[in-house]
Amino acid sequence: MRKTIIAGNWKMYKSPKQALDFAHSLSDIEPNETVRVIVCAPYLALPLLKEKVTLPLEISAQNVHQEEEGAFTGEISASMLTSIGVDITLIGHSERRQYFGESDDVVARKVRRALSHELDIILCVGEHLEQREAGEEESVVSNQLKAALSGVSKEEMKSISIAYEPVWAIGTGKTASSEDAQAMGSHIRKELISLYDEETSSACSLLYGGSVKPENIDELLAQPDVDGVLVGGASLDPESFRKLVEAGNRK
Ligand code: PGA
């Protein structure tokens, strides 16, 4: 059975100490067995979180470089992450695509590199507002998926969850309707059947992201093809994040 995933994406917020304080204040959360609770922390906070924090809070990176190693000033490799026990990463977040020029090809190379180090991946896809207004959202997401998953085997798909994050809903307070989130979830499910098969598709956790908060999470998680959420702003405050985890338990 696929898992419900409640993932917080802290982006460029929280010092290591603030990250640890957050984790400590949530040490009593009790997610159901079918729920994974993940925080995607800034690189600097990862070593301390990995050292001090135990399940049920899982710790993820927000990005990873596509090359094994080399002269890439300021970058972090997959083996550096695994060397401190980090075994999950986001890949292809729209802010990486938009502000750091990550093309579909770069995203695909990151996916393959992360898989070769046995990292779990939350792969982000999603259309811009103009693309939705032109009715192109499904083809945009299909193309992003086909590119990112090229060369990824059925077996490797077990390590991948997919987060649909319409760019126009990120940080804007404008959430996609639960119908739109479900429609895209169902589209992604069909795309995975055509790329792989029914079994692979139905085992893959699909997340929705974009202005998710305690007030709207239940409606989103009520959709059959919304298995979880990737949350930016509303994941920063521990009490708000706690409410998101509680909603995960109600799914
Ligand atoms: P948001 O961000 O919840 O602040 O809209 C979501 C994300 O970027 O993953």
Give 221-244 as a DSSP string.
HTSTT--EEEESGGGSSHHHHHHH
Q: Is the CB of 209 under 6 A from ligand 1?
A: yes
Indicate which residue's Cα is closest to atom 3 of ligand 1.
232
- The tens place of each residue's pLDDT in the chain, 251 residues long, gives 799 999 999 999 999 999 999 999 999 999 999 999 999 999 999 999 999 998 899 999 999 999 999 999 999 999 999 999 999 999 999 999 999 999 999 999 999 999 999 999 999 999 999 999 999 999 999 999 999 999 999 999 999 999 999 999 998 888 889 999 999 999 999 999 999 999 999 999 999 999 999 999 999 999 999 999 999 999 999 999 999 999 999 99
Q: Which of 211, 217, 237, 243 to mutate to test the pocket of ligand 1 (most atoms within 8 A of CB)?
A: 211
Q: Is the CB of 233 under 6 A from ligand 1?
A: yes
CB 102 within 8 A of CB 93: no
Q: Which residues are catalytic?
A: 93, 165
Among positive and negative, which fits the CA dihedral 64, 65, 70, 72?
A: negative
The SS3 of residue 3 is coil
Q: Is the CB of 231 under 6 A from ligand 1?
A: yes
Distance of alpha carbon 202 from alpha carbon 195, whole angstroms:
13
pLDDT of residue 194: 97
- Among residues 226, 232, 183, 196, the alpha carbon closest in space to that of 212 is found at 232
Phi, psi of 59 (to 5 degrees): -115, 130
Indicate which residue's Cα is closest to atom 1 of ligand 1.
232
The tokens describing 64, both together, are 């990873």
Q: Is the CB of 165 under 6 A from ligand 1?
A: yes
* All domains in the chain, ordered by first residue: 4-250 (3.20.20.70)
